[in-house]
Structure 1
Amino acid sequence: MTSAAPITGFSLLRLLGRGNSAWVHLAVDEQGRRVALKLPFPETLADPESAERFANEVRLSLQLRHERLVIGHTGVAFGPGTHLAMRYFPEGTLSRWLEMGKLTTSESLGILADLAGALTYLHAQGVVHQDVKSQNVYLDSGRAALGDFGSAYFTTQGGKTAGSPFYMAPEIYRAEGSSPASDVYSLGILAYEMLTHERPFRGSTYEQLMAAHLASYPRPLVNQAPEVPRPLALLLERAFAKSPQERPDAPTLLRALEGALGRAPETGPFTPVTAAANPVVVGRHGPTTRGVGAASTLSSPEKPDRENKPAFWNPFKKR
């Protein structure tokens, strides 16, 4: 099967891509908007953990509102017609642009400022994203927005620890849980990748990447990206410090990045978003409502549970 069944209220134009859990179509909704329509695979909905992640993404995409986020227009979290219609970004993901090597230093700093703005908003709302990476950053007219809230959670409710191995903070590898500082770490890794055109930590297996994040140190950013102002380069290096306490927060990064670009920072105040008292999730016996439990280690669904890996995305699995 190469595409999903049509959803009432949308005209499908073309298939944009296929992710780990869903098809994404370019579509037109009943209001005439061009949207990115995310339709989960049948196997996604059949797996309780994957279905819960999709339901969580729908809920948060519809709740959160900021120009530097991929917001949802409409969505159904479970049952017939499950979908998420999101803002469409014609320039695609940051990962595609990094592969083409077409970003200048100034453009990279602008994207990083946009992402720091997104994290500033999320953290002010008490939300931890947990999956900041190039594949979840979308571009349009030179501006960036952060998407994919499947692993995000409100700190007041707790959530399952998750991440992507190339960008995951040491405390997540150590199964100590995540925090806003973990998002800052991922942004720091992404900054290094964007500004130097190489990843700071490398490995061909999960275990090698874990060892690198826990104990290795990359070549200094101030040497690898000399065109970046030295104070800013040093601050971005602190973003991926091993200890969460040594990392700057998102507003600090935002102010520094906007200052380097000569842009006025937007640091709030923001309209508060309240976590749903009974968020919709999908369990083994269909949709239910319940509070989310305390943070716990989440194994990758692409690996046996007994391996007890906190990452849900396995970059080494051949597809």
Structure 2
Amino acid sequence: MSRLEPGDVLARRYLLLDPLARGGMSVIWRAFDQSLHRMIAVKVLTASLHTDHGERVSVRSEARAAAKFIHPDSIEIYDYGETVTTSGGVAAYVVMPLLDGTPLAERIERGPLPWTEAAGIALRLARVLMAGHALGLIHRDVTAENVLLTAGGPKLLDYGIAAWAGDPDDDRGTPPYVAPERLRGAPTHPAVDVYALGVLLFTMFTGRTPYPETTWEEIEAARRTDPPPRPPGVPHAVATLCQRCLAHQPEERPTAAEIVAALTSALGTARLGQHVRRGLTVAGSAAVALSVLLWFQQTELKPPEKAAEPSPSATARLVESSPAAVTTVEEAVTGFRTVLEAKTPCGATDADVVLDLKQVLYDSVAPHGPSESKTDHLRRKLSDRLREGRLSPACLSELQARLDDIDSALQRD
């Protein structure tokens, strides 16, 4: 097809403004919908469909499949169309929301991510894949370029080249993320998404893909017989999970649901470790305080020397310079609300869930609140939202820590 330029209009409706990203098979444009007067993103396939009716039917089927899949961490498909270009070719395009965010690929260019951050992103993506796989929909191009880090959390892009499980495979996709069986022409299967997620997880951990090949020709020529690499510097369970995702044989890889369970457990264990370390710190502080108290008791046995009384101004300066020793209920409640409303880790929580949790929080700390432990009801709410998939494990852990602060403050009052 001919090269599109800013100012071109697709289907007498979508005004192309400027290209946002270019891939091997498509260009994503920032555009303006002249019918609905809103900013959008338009992905235009770079190959003409004019001479290949089978390809045209395939692209149209994939767009329809993607349009049926709606998930909060995936990009919705607004429209699909085919238009005749100035050179007489037929170009397919997919219209999507325009989101503000940073491609994960740009974040990785700055260096490896902390393992908990990388695992949290992978967990969100695995949930999207799990939902898609349950419908028989395979993404086929899970890459760092197709993940957008937004204020609401990571979003998986480009379901526009998705396929149904069992469909014949083709040469679409990004070579470093392509599963080995795709080179043998195996039918589309959920395991290809799991392999790509393993590549992405390894890349987030290390800043590089697990294998050096970057083109179709290179990966076809590669002969991999050694076990897949393990990412260094991460917990054993997480490294093992990543290695299993990269297994050469698709039947040896975990399912997306198993990845969700494993990462949820790993992140929960990490958060528990933080609580234990925090508890040890508190215990250590208590031991120091006990030692100081015993020292004072011993020194009180000796006649104290006469000391000058501090002046009122000196006492005032001491009071002003002393940090707050305790957290008030108001401060603890504010901490809970701050975490709940923050971009990380609770940014993807539904607005109705946020509103409900705020109301339960208000009822919990109100003077007329329940006679049971003030935060028990709210803790049950958090657990329910986690089971429903409407609250991330990382968000749950942070909110539970804030509830611990609230309980401590209530006990002091």
Pairwise same-fold verdict (TM > 0.5)? yes
Counting helix residues as a fraction of each chain, which structure ranks higher? Answer: 2
- Give aligned pairs, total: 262
Secondary structure at the residue paired with 2:49? helix
Looking at structure 2, the residues matched to 81 and 170 of structure 1 have their Cα atoms a distance apart, in angstroms, of: 30
Matched with 2:327 is none
Contact 2:45–2:91 (8 Å) recurs in 1: no
Decide whether the 8 Å contact of 1:169 with 1:185 is kept in 2.
yes
- The residue that corresponds to 2:126 in the other structure is 116
Deviates most, 204-213 or 255-264: 204-213
Moved more, 235-244 or 24-33: 24-33
Once structures 1 and 2 are overlaid, which stretch shifts more, 258-267 or 179-188? 258-267
> Structure 2 counterpart of 1:3, which letter?
E
Tell me, in whole angstroms, the C-alpha distance in 2 between the residues paired with 1:134 and 1:116: 14
- In terms of Rg, which structure is larger? 2
Of 230, 234, 237, the match for 2:243:
237
**Over aligned residues, Cα RMSD in angstroms?**
3.1
Change (3 A) 1:117 1:32: farther
Q: Is 1:191 equivalent to 2:201 in the alignment?
A: yes
The alpha carbon displacement at 1:160 in A equals 2.8
Q: TM-score, normalised by structure 2?
A: 0.56
2:169 to 153, 157, 160: 160
Secondary structure of 1:234 counterpart: helix
Q: Which has the higher contact order (CA 8 A, sep 6+)?
A: 1
- Residue 137 of structure 2 aligns to which amino acid in structure 1? V
After superposition, the C-alpha distances for 1:61-103 in whole angstroms (9 at most, x for unaligned) are 3221111222111222566895321022322432222223374
Which of 76, 92, 102 is equivalent to 1:71?
76
2:42 paired with 1:14: no
Give the Å deviation of 1:6: 1.1
In the TM superposition, what whole-angstrom CA distance separates every residue of 1:149-177 from its partner, at most 9, and x where no partner exists?
Answer: 35422226x23344432112222223333
**Within 5 Å, which residues of 2 pair with 1:159-308?**
159-162=168-171, 163-203=173-213, 206-210=216-220, 212=222, 214-221=224-231, 224=232, 226=233, 228-262=234-268, 264=386
**Secondary structure in 1 aligned to 2:21?**
strand
- Tell me which moved more, 116-125 or 95-104: 95-104
When structure 1 is superposed on structure 2, of 97-106 and 204-213 the one drifting more is 204-213
| Runs of at least 5 residues in structure 2 that lack an aligned partner in the other structure | 85-89, 269-344, 346-385, 391-413
Alpha-carbon spacing, 1:23–1:246, altered in 2? closer, same or farther (3 Å): closer
Aligned counterpart, 1:273: none
Distance 1:33 1:139, change over 3 A: farther
Identity %: 30
How far 1:26 moved relative to its partner?
A: 1.7
Say whether the 8 Å CA contact 1:128–1:183 is kept in structure 2.
Answer: yes
Aligned to 1:300: none
* Cα deviations by residue, 1:209-258 (Å, 9 ceiling, x for unpaired): 3454642434422xx1x2x3321221221111122222111011012223
Asked whether the 8 Å contact 1:77–1:83 carries over to 2, the reply is yes
Does structure 2 conserve the Cα–Cα contact (< 8 Å) formed by 1:21 and 1:50?
Answer: no
Whichever residue aligns with residue 154 of structure 1, its letter is W
Q: TM-score under structure 1 normalisation?
A: 0.70
**What letter matches 1:18 in structure 2?**
R
Instruction: Give CA deviations for 1:261-303 in whole Å, capped at 9, x if unaligned.
Output: 34936569xxxxxxxxxxxxxxxxxxxxxxxxxxxxxxxxxxx
Residue 151 of structure 2 aligns with an amino acid whose one-letter code is S
Asked whether 1:140 is paired with 2:135, we answer no
Larger CA deviation: 89-98 vs 6-15 = 6-15
